[in-house]
A and B are shown apart, each in its own frame.
Chain A
Amino acid sequence: MRKRIYSVLLAAAMIILLAACGKKPAVTSTETSEEPKAEPKIIRVSSENCRTFDPYEANSSEDAFNTWCQARLYRSWTKIEGTTDTRYMRPELAAAEPEQKDADGCVWQIRLRDNACFSDGTPITAASFEASMKICLDPKMKHRSGDNMNLYISIKNARTYYTGGDVKWEDVGIRTLEGNILEITTEAPVTADLVMKAFGEYGTVPVDPELYASCMSADGASSTYGSAADKAKYCGPFTVTKWVKESRIVMEKNPNYVFADEILLDGAELVYVQNVQTRVEMFERGELDAVMITAQVGEQYMDSPDYFSTPSRYILMIEINDNTAHYNAASDKKSEPVRVEHRPDDPNNADVFTEKDGKKTYTAKALDASKMTKPILANMDFKNALWYAVDRVTLARREGGEPANFIVPYTSYCGEYSPVRFRDTDEAKAYVEDIEKSFDPALAKQYFDKAMAEEGLDKLELTLTISSDNDEMRICAQFLQEEFDRIFEGRLVLKIEEIPSANRLSKMKAWRTDENAFELGLSNWSRLVTDASPMNQFDVFSSSYWSKCNAAYHCETVEKTIWLQESDASYKTDMAKNVAAAAAMEKAALEERIVIPLFERTTQSLLHEWVTYDFNDPANVRYWLCDIDTELRK
């Protein structure tokens, strides 16, 4: 699963910080193990603000931090575990892996641990788990997690129940059996791995049905579960003991957690401090052990032994709404991409359906490029002009990142256990030009003049849509505005449109129906590291990406290759093939300039002396980003 996250760096930093803190016991145990009365090991870190601890509500990309908290507080059946060499699904609330009960692989049974319980001792039984799932899929409450329930497997009738269809809960494929056993019935055959994945997400964790009901509003449409520390029950490694909104979250080790003995930390204090400067001051005063800082502050502290910088997982890029993209409305990934031309004779420009082998293939909306008010956006020379007009090195220095003229970030590895970065492979090096060569004002001007001549324009005004709550984008936008003005000698006027992220998304998303929804935009795509396949970096660029919201790009090679991958499992297992395919896609995408990559973010932090971590070990960086809890274990 991919996450498109503006604030991913915050989450990443949090993870790093807490992961780093896990080292504290290691340090203290070697140095102060003689002392019988060790102080409780509590880390105090700067954090983001948390909205809710209701596991069914918080699962939106806007609050990476919320998701992060949930991962500390809740557990479902299983959890992805492992180190660099071994990765496996570890049963947590479940006693063992699910058992297949029919020939096709549609019926699965799983037994819960007998001692599974919440932090206050309330047992988690199969029956209460089923009740939890009923709440999760409640058609009245419409939880976000209900929407994600079918991400990996399609539970029978679950979607219909959730969307308010005419289905009773008894017909949904989740059932309690004797002996603390749950039975899952799916609509199509699945594997044990997928079942575990489906019940390893935060959205499928159990809640206490009684507490949930007691927090329910009169009309049964919303519950305040998770809106305060004592309004939720926790079954993960930590519990929340104190929550002062917009200020502090105090977490304590959960003694009733299945693997409680593995947790080294006694607790954590997450302090929400909006102002970076204040964070640093609190760090210097010793009020915080680890803080995340911005590039501007990082510049001051970069020589400090406490300063650490580590790559994040995404690349900021310019999106150009050139109206070449197609939107796959049905998101039927099992279909072959067909280029759909706009048909002027079609009055509604309706979705186009094609039947092939009795299967619906490719449902797409074709847009009418002739309706574009700024046709220059689709001009190749113009895209080239933008490409060469960005001084990525300077920009990256200002933003505290690494310049990028490629799409796959530096943190992408060739396979889950491989220490080889995709960027370091020969395949990937073959086509990426020298970063110095990617900035050529003279060439950019030349391309620009050509494009303007082709379009018969003298002066051009374009709007760059950015998120008003993202400082990084703001700085970047102002930089681009100034550079374009200088390089194109005032002929390209870039107007910055700063709108709140929610508003911005709906504006950019409208490219599917409106040819002029936006002109230029800044965005970044990021992904979970668990998905260590370089190829997967590209499906956000394909029309089959289900939540393709502001990605208005189209590249034939990407489209075709992603489709091939969907039907050919060997791409996932054969890394050489995967890397080659990813390289081919990146090469084509870069040549077609479907986006203008700018720089790759780094996360900068200040950590106190006892908080140590080897930042140079690539495997470990990846490892943290997957999950930190194991890091907290012996």
Chain B
Amino acid sequence: MTEQKKTKKNLFVFANRPEPAAGGPLPGKAASYAGDALRQLRKDAAAVAAVAILAVLVLMAVFAPDFNEYSYRRQLLAEDYVNMPPRIRGLTWIPLFNGHATLKERQLSSLSDTAKYPEGCVIRTFNERTVRGIPVADVEVDYYLYKGAGEDVNFWFGTDALGRDIWTRTWRGTRVSLLIAFAAVLLDLMIGTVWGAVCGWYGGKTDLILMRICEVVRAIPNVVICTLMIMLMGSGVGTMILALACRNWVGTAQLVRAQFLRFKGREYVLAAQTMGASDVRIMSRHILPNAAGPIINRAVMAVPGVIFTEAFLSYIGLGIAAPEPSLGNLLAEAQGVLGLYPTQTLFPALIISLMMIAFHLLSNGLRDALDTKTY
């Protein structure tokens, strides 16, 4: 084919233009499918914002755990820096980051005891009442002063019940959650694509049997399949990835199969077949690239679902083992002390929400850009 083209090019000469056009060939590259989609995507402000958010989150997940001197597992128990509120130097004018905390039902008489309450740590007392005849009040204190921590001790997101830095844990948890999500989606794509391709390409009995299996797997609820996997293999990052990919691939397989059915009758495929290309080559080189758009879109759409499921499994106690944090683990742990230490829930919740929103926006943008609505 290419040979022919060349000869043709030489044979035909522009009649009214003896020299090649002064400007040379058309500037810029021909608009490829991907290029076109990208341009479309770039116009979508929401999608661009989503990409930016995701980029920041990924960068933070990679680097942020090393921004301070604490590690995700180091426990500052000896110093008694347990359940510290967040404090960021320079941002203490924001109530969230001023390092203040409320102590419940303190006896008013003991407030002047500097051994218990170092000087200057009591900011205000409120909710004064008497319990068992003893005057008590809730006390807002500078918790860092209260615990005897110096100016240089700052936990940006606070610490947890074991005195571990929540900043480090949250970002490391983000990393773990993202890792699990990407790995699970990748696995899902790999299985789904091969499965769907085989179904779509070979058709007939193979297709029938393989698709029946798909239908059965699809009928098992996510909860059930994840639970079974974890029951069987114990909890861990590996199991989690497998469990999450274990059902999702069916959707990919069905999608890929539909794409293959659509393209397998096309002329260029027939041409490749006539030229003796192997099945694998045709599937991977000729049809798959055409089906790439919907598959990519599906993958992006699958990520938030996986992140949600991971968090949800951690919540019901089937998550990955300590001390490795994941966003789900962090949320589940913090849920128990939500009323006392709401900031422990706040940051992981914010990040997981941001992440999910970004992935949704991106997949919306991609859907429009790739115009895959019809699939």
- The residues of A with any CB-CB pair to B shorter than 8 Å are 275-278, 280-281, 296-297, 299-301, 303-307, 391, 394-395, 397-398, 468, 474-475, 477-479, 481-482, 496-498, 609
Give the residues from 226 to 262 in chain B that come closer than 8 angstroms, CB to CB, to chain A. none
CB contact under 8 A between A305 and B132, given known A398-B77, A479-B75, A482-B75: yes
CB contact under 8 A between A303 and B103, given known A398-B82, A468-B317, A475-B161: yes
Provide the bound-state CA to CA distance between A539 and B322, in Å.
Answer: 34
Interface pair A299/B337, CB less than 8 Å apart = no
Of the residues B74, B80, B131, B161, contact of A482 by C-beta under 8 Å: B74
Fill in one digit per residue for B316-357: 1 if any A CB lies within 8 Å of its CB, else 0: 010001110000000000011111100000000000000000
Q: Does B73 contact A (CB under 8 A)?
A: yes
CB contact under 8 A between A305 and B131, given known A300-B340, A398-B162, A475-B162: yes
Shortest distance between the CB of B368 and any CB in chain A (Å): 43
Interface pair B131/A304, CB less than 8 Å apart = yes
Interface pair A478/B337, CB less than 8 Å apart = no
Interface pair B131/A479, CB less than 8 Å apart = no
Q: Does B31 contact A (CB under 8 A)?
A: no
Shortest distance between the CB of B367 and any CB in chain A (Å): 40
Q: Does B149 contact A (CB under 8 A)?
A: no
Interface pair B338/A479, CB less than 8 Å apart = no
Interface pair B105/A479, CB less than 8 Å apart = no
Q: Does B290 contact A (CB under 8 A)?
A: no
Interface pair A306/B337, CB less than 8 Å apart = no
Known: A305-B105, A306-B132, A478-B322. 19 other contacts (CB 8 A): A276-B336, A277-B336, A277-B337, A277-B339, A297-B337, A299-B82, A300-B340, A303-B105, A305-B131, A305-B133, A306-B131, A398-B162, A475-B161, A477-B322, A478-B73, A478-B75, A481-B73, A496-B322, A498-B322
Q: Which of B106, B335, B340 has the most CB of A within 10 A?
A: B340
Which residues of B are found within 8 Å of A481, using beta-carbon distances?
73, 323
Provide the bound-state CA to CA distance between A277 and B75, in Å.
Answer: 23
Q: List 24 A–B pairs whose Cβ atoms lie within 8 Å, in order of A's numbering.
A: A276-B337, A277-B339, A277-B340, A300-B340, A301-B104, A301-B105, A303-B105, A303-B110, A303-B136, A305-B107, A305-B136, A306-B105, A397-B77, A398-B77, A398-B82, A478-B162, A479-B75, A479-B162, A481-B323, A482-B73, A482-B323, A496-B322, A496-B323, A609-B131
Q: Does B292 contact A (CB under 8 A)?
A: no
Interface pair B340/A297, CB less than 8 Å apart = yes
Shortest distance between the CB of A584 and any CB in chain B (Å): 35
Shortest distance between the CB of A205 and any CB in chain B (Å): 35
* Closest B residue, CB atoms, query A607: B132
Provide the bound-state CA to CA distance between A452 and B18, in Å.
Answer: 87
* Closest A residue, CB atoms, query B163: A398
Shortest distance between the CB of A180 and any CB in chain B (Å): 51
Which residues of B are found within 8 Å of A496, using beta-carbon distances?
321-323
Shortest distance between the CB of B81 and any CB in chain A (Å): 11
Shortest distance between the CB of B8 and any CB in chain A (Å): 69
Fill in one digit per residue for B124-139: 1 if any A CB lies within 8 Å of its CB, else 0: 0000000111101000
Shortest distance between the CB of A220 and any CB in chain B (Å): 32
Q: Does B78 contact A (CB under 8 A)?
A: yes
Provide the bound-state CA to CA distance between A304 and B131, in Å.
Answer: 8
Q: Does B170 contact A (CB under 8 A)?
A: no
Provide the bound-state CA to CA distance between A306 and B131, in Å.
Answer: 7
Which residues of B are found within 8 Å of A394, using beta-carbon distances?
77-78
* Closest B residue, CB atoms, query A398: B77
Which residues of A are found within 8 Å of B106, using beta-carbon distances?
303-304
By secondary structure, the B interface counts as loop
Interface pair A275/B336, CB less than 8 Å apart = yes
* Closest A residue, CB atoms, query B161: A296
Give the residues from 73 to 117 in chain B that come closer than 8 angstroms, CB to CB, to chain A. 73-75, 77-78, 80, 82-83, 103-107, 110
CB contact under 8 A between A397 and B80, given known A303-B105, A306-B132: yes
Shortest distance between the CB of B323 and any CB in chain A (Å): 5
Shortest distance between the CB of B75 and any CB in chain A (Å): 5
* Closest A residue, CB atoms, query B75: A482
Which residues of A are found within 8 Å of B317, using beta-carbon distances?
468
Interface pair A304/B105, CB less than 8 Å apart = yes
Of the residues B104, B107, B110, B134, contact of A300 by C-beta under 8 Å: B104
* Closest B residue, CB atoms, query A304: B105
Which residues of B are found within 8 Å of A277, using beta-carbon distances?
336-340
Provide the bound-state CA to CA distance between A546 and B49, in Å.
Answer: 67
Shortest distance between the CB of B326 and any CB in chain A (Å): 15
Shortest distance between the CB of B118 and any CB in chain A (Å): 15
Provide the bound-state CA to CA distance between A545 and B335, in Å.
Answer: 41
* Closest A residue, CB atoms, query B132: A305
Which residues of A are found within 8 Å of B340, using beta-carbon distances?
277, 296-297, 300
Provide the bound-state CA to CA distance between A477 and B321, in Å.
Answer: 12
* Closest B residue, CB atoms, query A500: B317
Shortest distance between the CB of A237 and any CB in chain B (Å): 29
Which residues of A are found within 8 Å of B110, using beta-carbon distances?
303
CB contact under 8 A between A296 and B105, given known A305-B132, A478-B322, A478-B323: no
Which residues of B are found within 8 Å of A498, using beta-carbon distances?
321-322
Shortest distance between the CB of B172 and any CB in chain A (Å): 15
Which residues of B are found within 8 Å of A280, using beta-carbon distances?
339
Which residues of B are found within 8 Å of A478, using beta-carbon distances?
73, 75, 162, 322-323
Interface pair A305/B134, CB less than 8 Å apart = yes
* Closest A residue, CB atoms, query B71: A482
Of the residues B77, B103, B339, contact of A281 by C-beta under 8 Å: B339
Which residues of A are found within 8 Å of B107, using beta-carbon distances?
303-305
Which residues of A are found within 8 Å of B321, using beta-carbon distances?
496-498
Q: Which of A280, A391, A474, A482 has the most CB of B within 10 A?
A: A482
Of the residues B74, B78, B136, contact of A391 by C-beta under 8 Å: B78
Shortest distance between the CB of B316 and any CB in chain A (Å): 12
Provide the bound-state CA to CA distance between A475 and B323, in Å.
Answer: 10
Shortest distance between the CB of A496 and any CB in chain B (Å): 6
Provide the bound-state CA to CA distance between A375 and B80, in Å.
Answer: 36
Provide the bound-state CA to CA distance between A479 and B164, in Å.
Answer: 11
Shortest distance between the CB of B108 and any CB in chain A (Å): 10
Which residues of B are found within 8 Å of A395, using beta-carbon distances?
77
* Closest B residue, CB atoms, query A466: B322
Shortest distance between the CB of B70 and any CB in chain A (Å): 12
Shortest distance between the CB of A531 and any CB in chain B (Å): 35
Provide the bound-state CA to CA distance between A468 and B321, in Å.
Answer: 10
Which residues of B are found within 8 Å of A391, using beta-carbon distances?
77-78
Q: Which of B82, B83, B322, B335 has the most CB of A within 10 A?
A: B322
Of the residues A278, A296, A609, contact of B132 by C-beta under 8 Å: A609
Which residues of A are found within 8 Å of B161, using beta-carbon distances?
296, 398, 475
Which residues of B are found within 8 Å of A297, using beta-carbon distances?
337, 340
Shortest distance between the CB of A560 and any CB in chain B (Å): 40
* Closest B residue, CB atoms, query A482: B75
* Closest B residue, CB atoms, query A495: B321
Provide the bound-state CA to CA distance between A306 and B317, in Å.
Answer: 33
Provide the bound-state CA to CA distance between A397 and B73, in Å.
Answer: 19
Which residues of A are found within 8 Å of B83, using beta-carbon distances?
296, 299
Which residues of B are found within 8 Å of A306, using beta-carbon distances?
105, 131-132
Provide the bound-state CA to CA distance between A280 and B340, in Å.
Answer: 10
Provide the bound-state CA to CA distance between A498 and B323, in Å.
Answer: 11
Shortest distance between the CB of B83 and any CB in chain A (Å): 7
Give the residues from 153 to 177 in chain B that come closer than 8 angstroms, CB to CB, to chain A. 161-162
Which residues of A are found within 8 Å of B162, using beta-carbon distances?
398, 475, 478-479
CB contact under 8 A between A304 and B337, given known A299-B82, A609-B131: no
Shortest distance between the CB of A26 and any CB in chain B (Å): 16
Interface pair A304/B104, CB less than 8 Å apart = yes
* Closest B residue, CB atoms, query A498: B321
Provide the bound-state CA to CA distance between A482 and B162, in Å.
Answer: 11
Provide the bound-state CA to CA distance between A280 and B132, in Å.
Answer: 17
Which residues of A are found within 8 Å of B75, using beta-carbon distances?
478-479, 482
Q: Which of B80, B104, B136 has the most CB of A within 10 A?
A: B104
Which residues of A are found within 8 Å of B103, using beta-carbon distances?
300, 303
Which residues of B are found within 8 Å of A300, using beta-carbon distances?
103-104, 340
Q: Which of A280, A299, A303 has the most CB of B within 10 A?
A: A303
